[in-house]
Amino acid sequence: MLIDLHAHSNASDGTDSPTELIASALAAGLDVVALTDHDTVAGHAEAAAAVRGTGLTLIPGAELSCQVDGISMHLLAYLFDPAEPEFAAERELVRTDRFRRGRAIVERCRELGAPISWEQVERIAGAGSVGRPHIASALVEAGVVATVSDAFTRDWLANGGRADVRKHETDPATAVRLVRAAGGVPVFAHPGAVKRGRTVSDQVIADLAAAGLAALEVDHLDHDEETREHLRGLAAELGLLTTGSSDYHGSRKTVRLGECTTDPGVYEALVAQATGARPVTG
């Protein structure tokens, strides 16, 4: 069983359409893939239609933008009821603020001499939940930086960088409760990804465990071996499960689907906690 519980489509900052993502998952030999676009469920229906008859199982999910003590963090949510109004309203709030903030970042990049435009970013993002990776692609197109990842430095888009503008991000304890209230299962995405900026303390993770967090995403390319060991120990202490996933973004990042995976027993335990939606079996 090959299980990858973190992947993005062009409903957010991935480059595969949901249909292409399902094809990529099959090509990678996966048995289970979760679609976890940033702050949106817009890709769910297309992905569900695409798994039909393939034998692949789709876990509908999302990755929520959160912030605590000024530190940005991501919360994965699986198998929640997408129609539950309180959680849907919070996703909508974050998505809406992404537009204000996207325009502000583009403005800032222009002040810093980068010849990009909001129209260009809109073209790149299409219908996707707009974010810094789309602006990074615009900077690549304009020849300002060579790669998307080169745009994530203090010179440009990195947290605290010259052209970084914050967006509305949910308090993670509130987000954990919203996900649970919608019947979903909340998992802390890449909690030790230091290359993205500051990370939260073990105390914050303990508080989230008390609020209803289910698991930590331990096996992730942004974690070194020492970080993984520490997170595994912390999860054991707090009674949390541990997952592993690729965080695939299509051609916008170099990571491949299935590069990190989740243990089948952990997967079953997560699904057993969900009451908001069922896995979509192809």
By the criterion CB under 6 A, which residues form the site for ligand AMP? Answer: 13, 38, 65, 131-133, 148-149, 152, 195-196, 249
Choosing from 228, 247, 250, 274, the residue that interacts with Zn ion (CB under 5 A) is: 247
| Contact criterion met (CB below 8 Å) for 137 and 148 | yes
Applying CB under 5 A, does 16 fall inside the site for Fe ion?
no
Choosing from 30, 75, 189, 255, the residue that interacts with Fe ion (CB under 5 A) is: 189
Residue nearest to ligand AMP (CB): 131
Applying CB under 5 A, does 13 fall inside the site for Fe ion?
yes
Q: Using CB distances below 5 to 8 A depending on partner kind, what does residue 132 bind out of ligand AMP, Zn ion, Fe ion, none? A: ligand AMP
Find, among 234, 282, 274, the residue nearest to 84 by Cα: 274
Applying CB under 5 A, does 164 fall inside the site for Zn ion?
no
Phi-psi domain of 226 (left: phi exceeds 0; alpha: psi -120 through 50; beta: other): alpha
| Contact criterion met (CB below 8 Å) for 196 and 153 | no
> Which tokens belong to 97?
């603020």
Window 40-79: contact mask with Fe ion (x via CB under 5 A): ----------------------------------x-----
Q: Measured from the CB of residue 6, what is the shortest distance to ligand AMP in angstroms?
A: 10
CA torsion 92→274→79→239, rounded to 10°? 80
Applying CB under 5 A, does 16 fall inside the site for Zn ion?
no
Q: Measured from the CB of residue 60, what is the shortest distance to ligand AMP in angstroms?
A: 18
Q: What is the DSSP letter of 255?
A: P
| Contact criterion met (CB below 8 Å) for 282 and 52 | yes
Residue nearest to Fe ion (CB): 74
Choosing from 37, 63, 169, 217, the residue that interacts with Zn ion (CB under 5 A) is: 63
| Contact criterion met (CB below 8 Å) for 5 and 64 | no
> If 0-12 CB within 10 Å is exposed, 13-18 middle and 19+ buried, where does residue 243 land?
buried
Q: Measured from the CB of residue 237, what is the shortest distance to Zn ion in angstroms?
A: 26
CA–CA gap between residue 144 and residue 99 (Å, rounded): 22
Q: Which residues bind Zn ion (CB under 5 A)?
A: 63, 247
Q: Which residues bind Fe ion (CB under 5 A)?
A: 13, 74, 189
